Structure 1
Amino acid sequence: MSYSGPPYQPGPPPGNDSNTLSIVGIVLGAIAFIFCPPGFGIAGIICGVVANSKRERLAPIAIGVSIAGLVLGMVLGVLVFRGMYGG
């Protein structure tokens, strides 16, 4: 009697060819830098995380741009507010 070895186990699923949610997350992160950072930044992060769960290639970039847009937009907003009102 011969032993043929362990059964075949497939590897991880291939990445998703679509980058739609990632691109939406990148655009929202870029918009968050200038306009309404909390709203657009958080929406971009959510799109990036969902894209990451779908294994889209650009998902880490979308998450990074959205976080940067959120943080830098908030800092820019504080600086502009202080400049306008002298606080």
Structure 2
Amino acid sequence: MSHQPPPYQNYGPYQGRPNDSNTLSIVGIVLGCVAFLFCPPGFGIAGIVCGVVAKNKNERLANTAIGVSIAGLIIGMILGVVVFRGMYGG
């Protein structure tokens, strides 16, 4: 008896089946949260990269990771400017 492959299933707009793992998405979300307070350009961009890679792997939380990382980058930069001006006048 030969093994038959499973029938083709249409999963909608995805390239394939959504990935059950959300590891890169969670790493992207954590990096985005860290970017609010520490080194926004470094952590924010790293979070965005993790989110984009997760999106390419069809992870469920990829869009959240990208959004949190972008918000962390922008808000972290604004907070940095505000704190810097408050400390040194300007």
TM bucket, shorter chain: 0.7 to 0.9
Match of residue 78, structure 2, among 68, 72, 75: 75
For these two proteins, the number of residue pairs brought into alignment is 80
Residue correspondence of structure 1 range 29-40 to structure 2 within 5 A? 29-40=32-43
- Report the identity percentage: 74
Query: Can you give the 5+ residue segments of structure 2 that lack an aligned partner in the other structure?
Result: 1-6
> Greater CA radius of gyration, 1 or 2?
1
What TM-score, normalized to structure 1?
0.88
CA-to-aligned-CA distance 1:24-81 (integer Å, 9 cap, x gap): 0000000000000000000000000000000000000000000000000000000000
What residue ranges of structure 1 are gaps of 5+ in the alignment? 1-7
Which 4+ residue blocks in structure 1 deviate beyond 2 angstroms?
8-12
Question: Within the alignment, does 1:41 sit opposite 2:44 as a pair?
Answer: yes
Which structure is higher in helix share? 1
TM-score, normalization by structure 2: 0.85
